[in-house]
């Protein structure tokens, strides 16, 4: 009751625009080249493990993870390495990338066999070998997530199928098209990590997927499908946990600290797929949509395919796009260059027309408090922005700038169209940097 | 198709439709029924007076920004709102040149000298009204009785609050506004309609008006009971006190002014309670009959403190705990 009152009216009713939710996934032909970027996860970048001229197969490791927090990168095609090149990441940093020219044979690497999983250890080794990262967009290495400090304290597995970003329908398609591997993935995590209770959280705007999950989980009292309000950012980890379990992730901690493990539905399905086939994560389903795209589609794309080839497969542009985004319109990156490749954690390419996207022109803050009322983690974005402008670190600490997750709701609701979200993110980074000194 | 320049900005890439201008226009629409009612009750001069204050407010703002080489905030409609509310706080036969002085005080002194929209410490129209009240006390309390009420002295300085002290005013007169007062405060029905319009269009949250009006009602009722009045009579008195005077105008249109009211729901509740206590205290025990404007001004000054004390507890932050010194684990 108290929690209901606290969270009442939080978040924002963003437009759904999920026009592709009934489009079955189509597989795209091989592109002329794939570019395997060495950073497709949170953590240290991978090191290229192949050289120019090497022959690689489907599933060959081309980027080796460095350290515990990392995930191997596997070739999505068979062919020849034409070079190790540098590409510019959306943030502006330069990153190594293995460029491969496909031979069209799609020969599978000889070492690929379904993993022999007997116990927890071999299960975790399998997840690590699959090169899995959080496919909802964050890209946190899944094997790392499955090994929290105190595994015994985890009593709840929460499957995130909220998919609250506008346009994107890939998790919806995953449930509808791969319900069996979603379920086998869940059961494997549940079994080997010995987690009692599983919730599958789905926003109410996906009735077909919800019905299917209901029927698949019927008869197992440990599995529960939860209908979530369709309100952005319902799929943000902390918000989802609070909605489903009523628990709050500590501002200085992780979901594991309160006994919850959250996995995206496509990620858990990928675990199921790997256990059955031994094929690591090499393709990704993308929603290609937006007013500038001739034929919006859900496409299965080899990881490393340049964006321009994906757009081409969807008929190209019918009008000039104003922005091309990797990800959704609330948290996605605006791309400068369409030769950038698809990464593991990408879930959408959106080519938006001028009418579909809004450009903020700062006007004076009228102190309406909408940003504060809507902040899903209950911060005070306007006060944080002002403290950031004054570089007042003490105030940033008092306002708990570190809790911000960058969901963008404050900017979205602001009637003065102020750039609150980017500023709050900058404030968080500044505060963490100063506090760690 | 060859792709030309792509726009690159930080996310989010879509924004809500509501903007400052929509909001201000919405407030103007909410004020309109009361303006029409006022013209019906007090005559056409009211429209001229309101037109003059609006024109003066917009004109002074444009002129100030021109002189100060600031971007002219054309079209945000905030000066129009100030102009209408200022007019609503003037007696129906108020001289135009004095009203223009009020507009100058509101826009130039109270709003622009403190930095413009969003930075004023008190409600501009409210301070404008107070300066006029102190400077031109005579004309400011010359409450014309409505033409429709026959046989009453046209310049009787009686407002319902005064009359209430002497006897009673029929409830119907209070609802319809056919009694003396400043031009925007008399017609309770249109004020409530305007307030509800703003609540349903989400321009304002209902918290402040509900707490403020409810608080005045409860306090008046309790004071009545405490004074030995029968419950039914005290109830009617309390009802009269929320319908009479500037309470409805103040609660719906002035206490909810974004800049001079608190941010959070908790803050708004505190603010409403403070307003209710101040209003009843002034009306009961001070020499003035009307307490709404002075309570608003006092409460306006408290807003920064209320904001500092009523922040929401961020998700995952334990009460009373110091901010994380190491920021550990925060992604």
- Which one of A89, A167, A367 makes the best mutation probe of the B interface by having the most chain B beta carbons within 10 Å? A367
Cβ of B18 within 8 Å of Cβ of A413? The answer is yes
Structure letter (DSSP) for residue B253: I
User: In this structure, is the dihedral angle defined by the CA atoms of residues A211, A216, A221 and A224, taken in order, positive or negative?
Assistant: negative
ipTM: 0.92
Pairing of strands A197-203, A223-228: parallel
Q: Which two tokens stand for residue A70?
A: 């990392």
Do A24 and B24 form a contact (C-beta atoms < 8 A)?
no
Alpha carbons A182 and A185: distance in angstroms, whole number: 5
Is residue B178 one of the residues assigned to a domain?
yes
Taking residues B162-185, what's their average pLDDT?
A: 73
pLDDT by 10s per residue, chain A, length 437: 566 777 777 999 999 999 999 999 999 999 999 999 999 999 999 999 999 999 999 999 999 999 899 999 999 999 999 999 999 998 788 999 999 999 999 999 999 999 999 999 999 999 999 999 999 888 999 999 999 988 889 999 999 999 999 999 999 999 999 999 999 999 999 999 999 999 999 999 999 999 999 999 998 999 999 999 999 999 999 999 999 999 999 998 899 999 999 999 999 999 999 999 999 999 999 999 999 999 999 999 999 999 999 999 999 999 999 999 999 999 999 999 899 999 999 999 999 999 999 987 889 999 999 999 999 999 999 999 999 999 999 999 999 999 999 999 999 999 999 999 999 999 999 999 988 87
Taking residues B269-297, what's their average pLDDT?
A: 90
CA nearest to A358, candidates A427, A413, A298, A402:
A413
Cβ of A249 within 8 Å of Cβ of B258? The answer is no
Is residue B142 one of the residues assigned to a domain?
yes
**Helix-helix angle A120-129:A179-192, to 10 degrees:** 130
| CATH number of the CATH domain containing B95 | 1.10.3430
Alpha carbons A251 and A254: distance in angstroms, whole number: 8
Q: B154-160 contacts: CB < 8 A, separation 24 or more? A: B156/B180, B159/B244, B159/B245, B159/B289, B159/B290, B160/B240, B160/B244, B160/B245
Across the interface, which of A252, A366, A377 has its CB nearest the CB of B20?
Answer: A366
Alpha carbons A213 and A223: distance in angstroms, whole number: 10
Across the interface, which of B4, B15, B119 has its CB nearest the CB of A320?
Answer: B4
Chain B contacts of A251, Cβ < 8 Å? 314-317, 324, 330
Across the interface, which of B15, B117, B315 has its CB nearest the CB of A378?
Answer: B315
Q: Edge-to-edge, what's the strand order for the sheet holding A47-48? A: A47-48, A61-64, A73-74
CA distance A212 to chain B (A): 31
CA distance A31 to chain B (A): 19
Other C-beta atoms lying within 10 Å of the C-beta of residue A430 = 16
Which residue of chain A comes nearest to B78, CA vs CA? A366
User: In this structure, is the dihedral angle defined by the CA atoms of residues A73, A30, A85 and A303, taken in order, positive or negative?
Assistant: negative
Alpha carbons A77 and A304: distance in angstroms, whole number: 9
| Predicted pLDDT of residue B325 | 46
A412-436 per-position pLDDT tens digit: 999 999 999 999 999 999 999 988 8
Chain A contacts of B4, Cβ < 8 Å? 320
Chain B contacts of A376, Cβ < 8 Å? 315
User: Which helix (H) or strand (E) is A26 found in, with range?
Assistant: strand A26-27
Give the range of the structural domain holding residue B58, as residue numbers without chain letter: 20-309
Chain B contacts of A322, Cβ < 8 Å? 6-7
Cβ of A331 within 8 Å of Cβ of B325? The answer is no
Do B125 and B106 form a contact (C-beta atoms < 8 A)?
yes
CA atoms within a 13 Å half-sphere pointing along the CA-CB vector of A252: 13
Q: Which two tokens stand for residue A252?
A: 């200085």
Pairing of strands A283-289, A348-352: parallel
Other C-beta atoms lying within 10 Å of the C-beta of residue A329 = 29
Cβ of B6 within 8 Å of Cβ of A333? The answer is no
What is A126-177 written as a DSSP string?
A: HHHHTT-B-TTTT--BHHHHTS-TTGGG--EEEEEE---SSS--HHHHHHHH
| Predicted pLDDT of residue A91 | 79
Taking residues B81-101, what's their average pLDDT?
A: 95
Phi and psi for A156 in degrees, rounded to 5? -135, 130
| Predicted pLDDT of residue A97 | 96
Other C-beta atoms lying within 10 Å of the C-beta of residue B113 = 13
Cβ of B312 within 8 Å of Cβ of A365? The answer is no
Pairing of strands A79-88, A94-102: antiparallel
Alpha carbons A162 and A149: distance in angstroms, whole number: 27
Instruction: Tell me if residue A348 falls in helix, strand or coil.
Output: strand
Phi and psi for B218 in degrees, rounded to 5? -65, -45
| Predicted pLDDT of residue B160 | 63
What percentage of chain A's residues is helix, strand, coil (to nearest 5)?
Answer: 30, 20, 50
Q: Is residue B172 very low, low, confident or very high in pLDDT (cuts 50, 70, 90)? A: confident
Chain B contacts of A15, Cβ < 8 Å? 14
- Which one of A15, A252, A258 makes the best mutation probe of the B interface by having the most chain B beta carbons within 10 Å? A252
Domains of chain A by start residue, with CATH: 2-17+113-277 (3.40.50.11540), 28-112+283-352 (3.10.20.600), 370-435 (no CATH)
CA nearest to B251, candidates B310, B205, B183:
B205
Which residue of chain B comes nearest to A16, CA vs CA? B14
Instruction: Tell me if residue A55 falls in helix, strand or coil.
Output: strand
Pairing of strands A55-56, A79-88: antiparallel
Alpha-helix residue ranges (DSSP H) falling in A330-380 = 370-374
B119-168 per-position pLDDT tens digit: 999 999 999 999 999 999 888 887 766 554 433 444 444 566 666 555 56
What is A213-233 written as a DSSP string?
A: HHHHHTT-TTEEEEEE---BT
CA distance B139 to chain A (A): 33
Q: Which two tokens stand for residue B165?
A: 């002290």
Across the interface, which of A12, A332, A365 has its CB nearest the CB of B13?
Answer: A332
Is residue B304 one of the residues assigned to a domain?
yes
Other C-beta atoms lying within 10 Å of the C-beta of residue A184 = 18
Is residue B316 one of the residues assigned to a domain?
no
Q: pTM, whole model, 2 decimals?
A: 0.92
Do B30 and B197 form a contact (C-beta atoms < 8 A)?
yes
Radius of gyration of chain A measured on its C-alpha atoms: 21
What is the count of structural domains for chain B?
1
Q: Which two tokens stand for residue B35?
A: 């303006």
CA atoms within a 13 Å half-sphere pointing along the CA-CB vector of B145: 14
Strands (E), A256-330: 260-264, 283-289, 297-302, 323-326
Chain B contacts of A330, Cβ < 8 Å? 11-14
Pairing of strands A26-27, A297-302: parallel
Whether pLDDT at B251 is above 50:
yes
From first CA to last CA, the distance across chain B in angstroms is 40
Cβ of B18 within 8 Å of Cβ of A415? The answer is yes
Looking at chain B, the whole-number percentage of residues with pLDDT higher than 70 is: 87
- Cα A54 → chain centroid: 31
Which residue of chain A comes nearest to B303, CA vs CA? A367
Q: Is residue B169 very low, low, confident or very high in pLDDT (cuts 50, 70, 90)? A: low
Is residue B314 one of the residues assigned to a domain?
no
In the beta sheet, which residues pair with residue A377? none
User: Which helix (H) or strand (E) is A23 found in, with range?
Assistant: none
Cβ of B13 within 8 Å of Cβ of A248? The answer is no
Cβ of A415 within 8 Å of Cβ of B13? The answer is no
CA distance B220 to chain A (A): 30
Do A365 and A213 form a contact (C-beta atoms < 8 A)?
no
Helices and strands, counts by H and E, chain B = 14, 0
Please name the residues in contact with A267: beta carbons below 8 A apart, sequence gap of 6 or more.
A132, A133, A134, A135, A136, A142, A185
Across the interface, which of A238, A333, A360 has its CB nearest the CB of B15?
Answer: A360
Taking residues B71-75, what's their average pLDDT?
A: 81
Across the interface, which of A320, A323, A380 has its CB nearest the CB of B311?
Answer: A380
Across the interface, which of B12, B263, B316 has its CB nearest the CB of A330?
Answer: B12
Do A243 and A234 form a contact (C-beta atoms < 8 A)?
yes
- Which one of A238, A260, A369, A436 makes the best mutation probe of the B interface by having the most chain B beta carbons within 10 Å? A369
What is B80-131 written as a DSSP string?
A: HHHHHHHHHTS-TT--HHHHHHHHHIIIIIIIGGGTSTTT-SS-HHHHHHHH
- Which one of B9, B14, B71 makes the best mutation probe of the A interface by having the most chain A beta carbons within 10 Å? B14
- Which one of B23, B330, B331 makes the best mutation probe of the A interface by having the most chain A beta carbons within 10 Å? B330
Chain A contacts of B263, Cβ < 8 Å? 367, 369, 372-373, 380, 382
CA nearest to B270, candidates B302, B246, B240, B297:
B302
CA atoms within a 13 Å half-sphere pointing along the CA-CB vector of A425: 14
Which residue of chain B comes nearest to A436, CA vs CA? B326
Phi and psi for B288 in degrees, rounded to 5? -80, 150
Measuring CA to CA, how many Å separate A324 from each of A354, B6, B8, B36? 11, 7, 8, 50
Inter-chain Cβ pairs, chain A and chain B, closer than 8 A: 199
Do B290 and B249 form a contact (C-beta atoms < 8 A)?
no
Which residue of chain A comes nearest to B115, CA vs CA? A364
Cβ of B330 within 8 Å of Cβ of A252? The answer is yes
Do B278 and B290 form a contact (C-beta atoms < 8 A)?
no
Radius of gyration of chain B measured on its C-alpha atoms: 22
Pairing of strands A297-302, A283-289: antiparallel
CA distance A50 to chain B (A): 32
- Which one of B258, B316, B319, B328 makes the best mutation probe of the A interface by having the most chain A beta carbons within 10 Å? B316
CA distance B96 to chain A (A): 30
């Amino acid at each position: 009751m108290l929690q209901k009152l606290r969270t009442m009216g939080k978040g924002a009713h963003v437009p759904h625009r999920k026009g592709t939710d009934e489009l079955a996934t189509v597989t795209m032909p091989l592109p002329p080249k794939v570019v395997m970027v060495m950073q497709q996860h949170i953590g240290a970048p991978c090191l290229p493990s192949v050289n120019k001229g090497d022959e690689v197969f489907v599933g060959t490791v081309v980027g080796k993870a460095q350290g515990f927090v990392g995930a191997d990168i596997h070739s999505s095609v068979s062919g020849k390495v034409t070079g190790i090149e540098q590409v510019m990441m959306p943030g502006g940093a330069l990153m190594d990338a293995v460029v491969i020219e496909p031979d069209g044979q799609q020969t599978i690497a000889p070492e690929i066999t379904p993993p022999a999983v007997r116990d927890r250890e071999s299960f975790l080794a399998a997840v690590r070998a699959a090169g899995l990262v959080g496919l909802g967009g964050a890209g946190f290495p899944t094997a790392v997530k499955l090994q929290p400090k105190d595994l015994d304290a985890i009593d709840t597995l929460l499957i995130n199928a909220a998919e609250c970003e506008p346009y994107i329908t890939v998790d919806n398609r995953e449930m509808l098209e791969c319900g069996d591997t979603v379920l086998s993935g869940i059961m494997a995590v549940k079994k080997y990590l010995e987690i009692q209770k599983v919730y599958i959280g789905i926003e109410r705007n996906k009735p077909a997927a919800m019905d299917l999950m209901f029927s698949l989980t019927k008869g197992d009292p440990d599995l529960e499908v939860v209908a979530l309000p369709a309100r952005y950012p319902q799929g943000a980890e902390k918000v989802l946990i609070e909605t489903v379990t009523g628990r709050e992730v500590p501002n200085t901690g992780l979901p594991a600290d309160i006994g919850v493990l959250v996995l995206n539905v496509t990620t858990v399905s990928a675990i199921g797929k790997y256990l059955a086939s031994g094929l690591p994560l090499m393709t990704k389903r993308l929603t290609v949509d937006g007013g500038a795209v001739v034929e919006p589609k859900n496409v299965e794309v080899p990881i490393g395919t340049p964006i321009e080839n994906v757009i081409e497969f969807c008929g190209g542009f019918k009008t000039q796009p104003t922005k091309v985004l990797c990800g959704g319109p609330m948290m996605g990156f605006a791309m400068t260059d369409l030769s950038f490749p698809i990464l593991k954690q990408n879930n959408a390419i959106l080519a938006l027309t001028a009418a579909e996207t809004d450009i903020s022109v700062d006007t004076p803050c009228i102190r309406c408090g909408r940003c504060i009322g809507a902040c899903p983690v209950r911060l005070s974005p306007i006060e944080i922005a002002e403290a950031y402008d004054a570089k007042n670190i003490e105030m940033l600490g008092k306002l708990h700038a570190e809790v911000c997750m960058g969901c963008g709701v404050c900017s979205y609701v602001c009637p003065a169209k102020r750039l609150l979200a980017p500023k709050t993110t900058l404030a968080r980074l500044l505060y963490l940097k100063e506090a760690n000194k | 198709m060859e792709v030309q320049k792509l726009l690159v900005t930080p996310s989010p890439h879509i924004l809500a439709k509501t903007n400052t201008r929509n909001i201000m226009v919405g407030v103007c629409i909410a004020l309109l029924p009361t303006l029409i009612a006022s013209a019906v009750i007090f005559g056409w001069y009211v429209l001229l007076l309101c037109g003059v204050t609006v024109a003066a407010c917009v004109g002074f703002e444009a002129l100030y920004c021109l002189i100060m080489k600031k971007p002219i905030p054309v079209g945000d409609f905030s000066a129009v709102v100030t102009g209408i509310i200022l007019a609503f706080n003037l007696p129906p036969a108020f001289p135009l040149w004095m009203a223009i002085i009020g507009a100058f005080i509101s826009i130039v002194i109270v709003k622009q000298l403190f930095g413009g929209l969003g930075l004023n410490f008190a409600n501009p129209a409210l301070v404008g009204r107070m300066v006029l009240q102190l400077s031109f006390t005579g004309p400011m309390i010359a409450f014309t009785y409505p033409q429709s009420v026959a046989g009453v002295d046209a310049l009787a300085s009686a407002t319902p609050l005064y009359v209430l002290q002497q006897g009673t005013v029929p409830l119907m007169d209070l609802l319809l506004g056919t009694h003396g007062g400043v031009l925007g405060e008399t017609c309770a029905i249109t004020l409530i309609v305007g307030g509800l319009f703003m609540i349903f269009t989400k321009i304002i949250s209902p918290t402040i008006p509900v707490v403020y009006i409810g608080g005045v009602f409860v306090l008046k009722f309790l004071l009545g009971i405490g004074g030995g009045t029968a419950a039914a009579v005290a109830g009617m008195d309390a009802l009269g006190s929320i319908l009479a005077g500037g309470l409805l105008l103040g609660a719906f249109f002035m206490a909810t002014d974004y800049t001079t009211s608190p941010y959070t729901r908790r803050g708004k509740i505190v603010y409403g309670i403070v307003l209710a206590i101040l209003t009843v205290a002034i009306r009961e025990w001070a020499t003035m009959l009307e307490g709404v404007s002075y309570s608003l001004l006092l409460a306006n000054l408290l807003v920064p403190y209320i904001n500092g004390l009523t922040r929401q507890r961020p998700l995952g932050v334990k009460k009373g705990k110091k901010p994380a010194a190491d920021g550990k684990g925060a992604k």
